């Protein structure tokens, strides 16, 4: 079993807000992050699988790159995360971004890449890093 990680980058804006809270509760909870602001995010997607004898690959990275661009990066890059289709009605935290990316990719990886999604990791800043391994 080999794990492979592909890195992508995206730049997006977000606003941390719970629409069920009052203005004051949102300010108290999210502080400056209640304002729209942006990050240069890095996304690391790790898949795992057995090496195919015919190709020497677990999966073709070209195909993983294409799936990431089609289903994730093209939807997030230079957008407001709160308005992205797979983030609708969710708080636009990086925790929730990780889970949403996992949910978007899981079946794609399984069906099109013949391997298994292992981890979705998002760096929001160089100091704040989020990882999701699915619900085990």
Active site residue ranges: 33, 78, 124
Rounded CA separation 106/19 (Å) = 28
Which residues have C-beta within 8 Å of that of residue 136, sequence separation ≥ 6? none
Q: What string of H, E and C letters represents the secondary structure of 38-57?
A: EEEEEEEEEEEECCCCCCCC
Question: For residue 22, how many other CB atoms are within 10 A of its CB?
Answer: 9
Rounded CA separation 75/84 (Å) = 7
Question: For residue 116, how many other CB atoms are within 10 A of its CB?
Answer: 17
Rounded CA separation 51/18 (Å) = 44
């Amino acid at each position: 079993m080999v794990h492979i990680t592909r890195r992508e980058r995206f730049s997006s804006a977000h606003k941390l807000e719970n629409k069920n809270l009052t203005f004051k509760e949102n300010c108290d909870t999210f502080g400056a992050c209640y304002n729209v602001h942006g990050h240069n995010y890095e996304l690391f997607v790790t898949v795992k699988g057995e090496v195919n004898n015919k190709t020497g690959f677990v999966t073709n990275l070209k195909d993983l790159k294409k799936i990431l661009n089609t289903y994730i990066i093209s939807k997030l890059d230079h957008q407001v995360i709160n308005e992205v289709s797979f983030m609708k009605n969710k708080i636009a935290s990086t925790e929730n971004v990780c889970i949403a990316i996992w949910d978007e990719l899981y079946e794609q990886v399984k069906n099109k890449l013949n391997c298994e999604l292992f981890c979705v990791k998002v760096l929001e800043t160089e100091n704040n890093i989020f990882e999701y391994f699915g619900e085990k």
